[in-house]
A and B are shown apart, each in its own frame.
Chain A
Amino acid sequence: MWKKRPLSRFKWISSIALLAGAIGSAAVQPVRLAISPTNPLLFGKDSRQSLLVVAFYSDGTSRDVTREARFASAKAGVATVDNAGLVTAHSNGGSRIEAAYAGLRASTTALVQRAEAPLPVSFAGDILPILTKYGCNSGSCHGALNGQNGFKLSLFGYEPKNDYEMIVHKQDGRRLSLSDPEKSLLLLKPTFQVKHGGGKRFPKDSPDYITLLNWIRNGANSVLEQERRMVALSVNPPSNILLGKESKRRLLVTARYSDGSESDVTQLMRFQSNDDLIASVDPQGTMTGLEGGETAIVVRGPGVTGVAIVDVVSDSRPVPAFKGNNFIDQYVIEKLQRLHIPASEPANDATFLRRVFLDIIGIIPTSSEARQFLNDRDTDKRAKLVEALLHRPEYADFWALYWGDHLNNTKQLLYNKGPYTFTIWLNQIFRSNVPYDKFARMLLTSTGNTYDAPEVSFYPEMKKELDRASTTTQLFLGVSIECARCHNHPLEHWTRDDFNGMAAFFSQIRFKEPSGPRNNEKSLYLDFKRQFQHPDTKQVYLPKPLNGPVVTASDDWTDRRELLADWMTSPNNPYFARTLVNRMWRNFMGRGLVEPVDDFRATNPPTNAPLLDALAKDFVEHGYDLHHLIRSITSSATYQLSSIPIDGNKGDRMAYSRYSPRRLTAEQMLDSIVLATGVPERFRSQYPGTRASQLAEPEIESYFLDVFDRPSRQLICERKQPPTLNQALHLISGDTIQKKIADPRSSLPGDVEEMYLRTLSRYPDAEERSMAERVIAQAGDAKRGYQDLLWALLNCKEFLYNH
């Protein structure tokens, strides 16, 4: 649903299904040979198709043996095949092509049509792909908004008409020399025969050079309306397993054109890996497996994209399943087993305790809560703990904070009281566990005075329709449509029309000042008749959701945003639920199934699509209940895995073979330090005892929070939290920790066990106890000794990180 379906005509028997059993080493016999693509279509005389031959072995592995196979064509008059498996079309008809290797045979039939003559060179179909392949029309070169040096092409070739004009006609056609084609700038520049800011893109007399040259020689004609252009790509094989590091597999790419023809365009495509550490791909489309994991290879042509999923298995040993608790584990285990990545051990009670406190309510437990949990014999205690956390007041604060970060809750956008009323409202939402679809609808369809109806804060007055479209799609639909503000999205099929269609939902929003200009109070009302006009072109757009038809209201008094909310919260909406469960997954697991969490696209597939689908479906079926989602995630065995790597999963970053440790957020850190030391932090003009997670706006002064990456909330993005020098200095000699340690109220208990429980939420072991006691004795002054111990406990990674 994220992209156009690949050509169903090309069925590739995936090697996934065949992976089973132990893998031996020497003298394994191939038992079967297969040719791909099955029954390729070739259009036009001299058109060509590469073949891929794969051998399957008795141990279940497979290998690309194209270079070693021998080929033959039954009807050479129709089509011939060379030693490399390249088929060339000569006349209409079919010819059986056979490959032989190691005593095995496989065959396929090449079907040739329209072979009376070579297919006419199409600007969009044959020339533009070359410009795309070599990056000429990429965003950093001539595809930039203003082009380079006056030569501007559409980004990745999505506007062939303009590109043709630019190349052939603009500036008196200086880029082409029809009388002396080899002297055309279009050829001299990329071959660096004259100075070219982009360097040498391809050599003179290379096949692509020849294509361009011949096109110019033939007059550089184009009747764009009659030409074929690429409309879809099919990548073979669409999913792959690469066994062992350094194993290779070629991809074949077939394009389908607007005239129904097809062609092997492997040599014309631009290839890119989504994760170069797992698998790389070379410009010819050959993948190399590097590290165990799953990623996607993205294939790009002018205006079209394709994706191949690749699993790299770097360890030959299969892995056992761990004991699963719910449906989540089923999908995670399946992926881990396919990738041969073992899961770490289950986390112990102390680890689970601290982890779940931080992930659900944003603060560590007290020492007595820790003792109580650790000593509890109830086998159900973990689930009961989660339940208790869901109903604590800190829960509402923590999630109001999360959503405050994502809803621009700052005085810079919501004036004066705005953040305060909004925070109170958010707090109520989470305290009463309002279903998520209702929450979204309340925000989207809000009207009234921002102070009386704080949900109106979803619409900061200064933002206009296009910005609202951008943030709404980013926040609720996980789609970064911003690129499409100015041009079609380079990596997805979103167009400017999609962007403008979404913006039109917000056209009716108006603001007035109810109490006079000085009060900064704003009231949102609707002008039902108002249309959305693009600020630059002045064109009027009607409301149209992503991938959906234009929405018409039943009468003149319909709030368009209600229609948007209807579409978004419909159980069939492919984005809404998936986006939320992905965000929540990221909160608990450290990495979304789709990363970044607001960049869902066909060329950025989830690392576990069935899991994402299942989570979303379960969420919708349970009425968008956030508590239910949190229960599901935290009760899974996957969530409860230890973060300690074992042999075979140290490099895993995407399959959830272990919990992913991450630094506490600024608020988690400060609140936990306050809790552990017993010394509250004072915030200006806030009630004493206010926690950092309760601060309504990021403008409330706190060096500690700022230095640890408290967001300004002017943008919606996830916290990056890079380590900095100021942080280190602050932890070492800054007053936040130092004052709390030295404060008499921190009532150092003089008890190593209590100190460990207060900070690390666990009992110290014998070695730790004796080390601590040694250091305290050495300090001379017991009080100073305990202060030093407390300092170390608050600075150690085990405290600063959620593990």
Chain B
Amino acid sequence: MTSNRTSLFGRRDFLRIGSLGALGISLDRVLRAGAKRDISCILLWQSGGCGHLDTFDLKPDAPKEIRGEFKPIPTNVPGIHICEHLPFTAKQADKFTILRSMKSRENNHERAINYLLTGYLPLPTLEFPSVGSVISKELGSKNGLPPYVAVPNTFPSYGGGYLGGAYNPFIAGDPNVSGYQVRDLTLPADVDWTRVGNRTFLLKQMDARFRAIEASADMAALDSFYQKAYDLLKSPAARKAFDIGAEKESLRERYGRTPVGQGALLARRLVESGVRFVTVAKGWLNYDTHGDNFNIMKKALLPEFDSAFAGLLEDLHERGMLDTTLVIAMGEFGRTPKVNDAAGRDHHSKAWSIVLAGAGIPGGRVLGATDKNGVQVTDLPVEPEDLLFTIYTLFGVDPTREYQTPVGRPVKPVNGGQFIPGLLG
């Protein structure tokens, strides 16, 4: 990637991209400025940083202290091999692209997360909005559902930043718990709609007397959110969207009865109902395997991820939703090729792998490469700015447009970057 971070929408760059069209998607059509695309995004967040040598960029020929304990297995795409502990994912390789050349400058969790989700290195004085907030602001949702949902919960740098809390995600909770219901989306057991009516009547009376003071945009907004809340509470579509119990048992098993598995399934339901951006996070720093990396990965993390990711791709494909759903699986950095004394791997931001699928991205490919030990990127470096630039472009959101911070400073949703070359074929 050249270091010249020029806008894609400049004339000169347009000539460099070259032609494509292999899969009927022309970059030209996709990237026409101002033409927003009606697609959604599901982000599987591997909190803590996922080791690339243990998942998508194995180095079987490296010395033992680097290649670790896992072996590569073939996938359903000749020439592509991934970790043996991702067998279901291996059968879906024709649907996703492995990008092996992510790199960033941040080795600290919070800073790296901020960088990857907002496209900016963190500043002490300005909070940048996350990609989910920007997307939900620019595209909104359908069917009155919240546009941006976090499953089960939010994580640092998730929110609207200077765009405001109105663009924070709706928190969905953990759909794997039995009897899952989204938080507060049903009335309390002893409160029926009649009681709601009485309460609302009383509230209106009390607020009417207070109205003389109001003159506050916030109070009016809160009132409108009460109304939206009642609508949501009454809406069968919303209830339905979050009703994971309506899914066939067999499908729930296929995704895996784990928080990430059911989270991915819920994400599919939500996207189907009109939600624009869903994050499914694996706890907080669960992938941060500084010690006992191989046991934790093979026993806990990888099986959960494998079923969830493969289940999601297969399900989206079967429902014909893959073309309109961007699926990303990533963590804030990779993990050190050299295994440490505690049989763990530490933070490594010089190179790592992420996977991308859907929204017109061809599957069955590997983009980018690292050196023989997986330490440095040797081909097609992609930094967080580039990833976000790409995501915004895929959605038809201009990555060079400006927002105004509360102090009046113009800021773009991402700090430069360019479209990942070759991503669309």
Contact = CB atoms under 8 A, between A and B. Distances in A.
Q: Do A and B bind each other?
A: yes
Interface of A: 138-140, 145-146, 148-150, 195, 197, 412, 462, 467, 470-471, 474, 480, 482, 596, 598-599, 643-645, 650, 661, 663, 703, 706-707, 709, 712, 714-717, 720-735, 738, 742, 768, 771-772, 775, 778-779, 784, 788-789, 791-793, 795-798, 800-801, 803
Given A149-B12, A721-B218, A733-B188, A599 B407 contact: yes
A208 B202 CA distance: 64
Contact of A722 (B125, B164, B206, B229): B164
Contact of A714 (B6, B110, B199, B213): B110
B7 A149 contact: yes
Contacts of A149: 6-7, 10-12
Interface stretch (B96-104, B166-174, B247-255): B166-174
B184 interface: yes
B230 A703 contact: no
Given A140-B410, A725-B225, A738-B188, A482 B125 contact: yes
A3 B371 CA distance: 55
- What 8 A-B pairs are tightest by C-beta distance, nearest first? A722-B165, A792-B202, A728-B229, A728-B225, A796-B206, A723-B222, A729-B184, A140-B410
B222 A728 contact: yes
B144 to A, nearest CB: 11
A329 B233 CA distance: 49
Interface of B: 4-7, 9-12, 108, 110, 122-127, 146, 154, 156, 164-166, 168, 170-171, 183-188, 190-191, 195-196, 198-199, 201-203, 205-207, 209-210, 212-216, 218-219, 221-222, 225-226, 228-230, 232-233, 402, 406-407, 409-410, 412, 415-416
B180 to A, nearest CB: 15
A741 to B, nearest CB: 9
Contacts of A709: 165
A129 to B, nearest CB: 20
Contacts of B123: 482
A738 B125 contact: no
Nearest to A149: B10
A788 B202 contact: yes
Given A599-B407, A733-B187, A738-B191, 14 more contacts: A138-B410, A645-B215, A663-B222, A703-B183, A717-B125, A723-B165, A724-B225, A726-B170, A771-B202, A779-B198, A784-B190, A792-B199, A796-B206, A801-B219
Nearest to A408: B124
A716 B203 contact: no
A778 B226 contact: no
Contacts of B108: 462
Contacts of B164: 720, 722
Contacts of A795: 199, 203
5 contacts: A148-B10, A474-B125, A717-B127, A729-B184, A733-B184
A197 B202 contact: no
Nearest to B197: A788
A738 B124 CA distance: 38
A429 to B, nearest CB: 23
B129 to A, nearest CB: 13
Contacts of A717: 125, 127
A467 B233 CA distance: 46
B221 A723 contact: yes
B54 to A, nearest CB: 25
A733 to B, nearest CB: 5
A663 B32 CA distance: 43
A296 to B, nearest CB: 13
A471 B203 CA distance: 43
Contacts of A732: 184, 187, 196, 226, 229-230, 233
A195 B226 CA distance: 48
A633 B410 CA distance: 36
Contacts of B212: 644-645
Contact of A148 (B7, B214, B215, B406): B7
B284 to A, nearest CB: 9
B165 A724 contact: yes
Given A197-B9, A789-B202, A798-B210, A140 B190 contact: no
Given A150-B4, A720-B165, A796-B207, A734 B195 contact: no
Contacts of A462: 108
A725 B216 contact: no
Contacts of B202: 771-772, 775, 788-789, 791-792
A650 B170 contact: no
Contacts of A712: 156
A160 B126 CA distance: 29
B228 A728 contact: yes
Nearest to B404: A140
A775 B198 contact: yes
B222 A727 contact: yes
Given A195-B11, A734-B183, A726 B125 contact: no
A731 B188 CA distance: 11
Contacts of B229: 725, 728-729, 732
A718 to B, nearest CB: 10
A484 B212 CA distance: 45
A797 B124 contact: no
A784 B191 CA distance: 10
Interface centre among B202, B226, B406 (most CB of A within 10 A): B202
Contacts of B7: 148-149, 197
Given A148-B7, A714-B110, A722 B195 contact: no
B330 to A, nearest CB: 21
Contacts of A150: 4, 6
Given A139-B410, A729-B229, A796-B210, A482 B199 contact: no
Contacts of B233: 729, 732-733
Nearest to B165: A722
Contacts of B216: 661
Nearest to B206: A796
Given A730-B184, A733-B233, A412 B9 contact: no
Contacts of A707: 171
Nearest to A604: B407
Contacts of A793: 206
Contacts of A598: 125
Contact of B110 (A412, A721, A800, A803): A412
Contacts of B228: 725, 728
Contacts of A195: 11
A499 B205 CA distance: 55
Contacts of B170: 725-726
B124 A474 contact: yes
A668 to B, nearest CB: 15
Contact of A721 (B165, B198, B415): B165
Given A721-B218, A725-B146, A728-B229, A140 B124 contact: no
Nearest to B4: A150
Interface centre among B6, B165, B205 (most CB of A within 10 A): B165
A716 B124 contact: yes
A715 B127 contact: yes
A720 B166 CA distance: 11
